[in-house]
Amino acid sequence: STVMVTFGAMVIAVPLGIGTALYLSEVASRRLREIAKPFVEILAGIPSVVIGFIGILVISPIIANIFGLSNGLNAINGSILLAIMALPTIISISEDILKSIPKTYQEASLALGATKWQTIIRVKLPAVKSGIIAACLLGMGRAIGETMTVLMVTGCSLAMPTSYFDSVRTLTATIAIEMGEVP
């Protein structure tokens, strides 16, 4: 269940996070960047209980209505919320890494006749590949270690899941639930 929910979260968070970081570092105006960057950092500070509460009240009914389920407390709900929680880490670190590329890389690529997007895809991204992988791994660490959100929105079922629409119980949720049994 833990691997399932974390994998789902990374499928959602990695493309969104890297795309947002590319947009903020390469396309967005300075003014928009000054507004968006603090917003992303504030998103990282929202407590997991609040995100879980939003998941129960907002995301769960939407999932239940769209897919015709009795409730939305399942692995896909947990994946969506964990993706939201991993996004600030991935975006912030990826943007900082993209900003650290020497200007000479971009200037050399443009001087050889490459377009701005060719430069981004073929020069900048390969140059920062290891940093972006590190950002994604840190985001995944946040997703794996999250307790309260998955405890609240995944249904906490011990049965073996067969799809993302089944209730699951992750390792961190199991530890939290059984903490009272520790002498």
pLDDT tens per residue, range 109-138? 999 999 999 999 999 999 999 999 999 999
Cα–Cα distances in angstroms (integers) from residue 41 to residues 12, 78, 105, 144, in the given order: 19, 21, 28, 20
Answer for the pair 78, 154: CB distance below 8 angstroms, yes or no.
yes
Question: Can you give the pTM of this predicted structure?
Answer: 0.90
Answer for the pair 63, 74: CB distance below 8 angstroms, yes or no.
yes
Bigger pLDDT: 161 vs 183: 161
pLDDT tens per residue, range 17-53? 999 999 999 999 999 999 999 999 999 899 999 999 9
Coil, strand, or helix at residue 132?
helix
* pLDDT value at residue 135: 96
Determine how many CB atoms are found less than 10 A away from the CB of residue 130: 10
Give the span between the Cα atoms of 89 and 20, in whole angstroms: 12
Residue where the block lists tokens 């907002």: 58
Of 101, 108, 99, 89, nearest in space to 126 by CA: 101
Mean pLDDT of the chain: 93
Answer for the pair 11, 62: CB distance below 8 angstroms, yes or no.
no
Give the span between the Cα atoms of 156 and 59, in whole angstroms: 17
What sign results for the dihedral spanned by CA atoms 93, 95, 99, 101? positive
73-97: average pLDDT: 95
